[in-house]
Amino acid sequence: MRGQSAVEYLLLFSAVLVIFAVVTLGQMINPMQEAGRDTLYLSQARSAADKIAGAVNSVYANGPEATKSEGFSIDQSWSLHLTENKLTISLEISSGTKNVESNLRYGFNDNLQNLSTGTYTIIAEWSGDQENIVKDNYKIYIRIKPPKGI
């Protein structure tokens, strides 16, 4: 009889430990997955911001008629903001809206809101007649028009 009660006690204790382990692991894994996704989205945004700013800066440095294109992917909806000296990509992650910034040598005030996820091609060009950002499907045209004499 003694041996049987010890086995029953061990089985009951093992069942409690298994339930505790399943609940604990579920609580530990979910936040790690969320943090991993957020890190992926922010690194994609950082890469995109650097590529876009690099393309605009390259076109500005190369002068009239210059054009540069770059490709990048973002797996989260995002927004693009250009100001006089800064390019900002905003995106929603689990802890709220985060901004990723890159410096520009030449900028102007314009933005694109609520861009969907996907693979984009940025086309930066020195335009003689207008200064704007235009989205055409998964292509984004950034046209700069520096003052004459630059």
pTM above 0.85, yes or no: no
Contacts of 129 (CB under 8 A, 6+ apart): 145
- Domain boundaries along the sequence of the chain: 2-144
**Residues lower than pLDDT 70 in the chain:** 1-4, 26-31, 148-150
According to the model, what pLDDT value does residue 2 have?
60
Q: What is the pLDDT of residue 1?
A: 53
Phi, psi of 42 (to 5 degrees): -70, -35
Q: For residue 17, report the phi and psi dihedrals to the nearest 5 degrees.
A: -65, -40
Give the pLDDT of residue 4: 67
Q: Mean pLDDT score of the chain, rounded to an integer? A: 87
Q: Provide the pLDDT for residue 8.
A: 81
pLDDT for 150 equals: 54
Q: Give the model's pLDDT for residue 9.
A: 80
Cα 51 to Cα 64: distance, rounded to the nearest angstrom: 20
Cα-Cα-Cα-Cα dihedral sign, residues 102, 107, 110, 112: negative
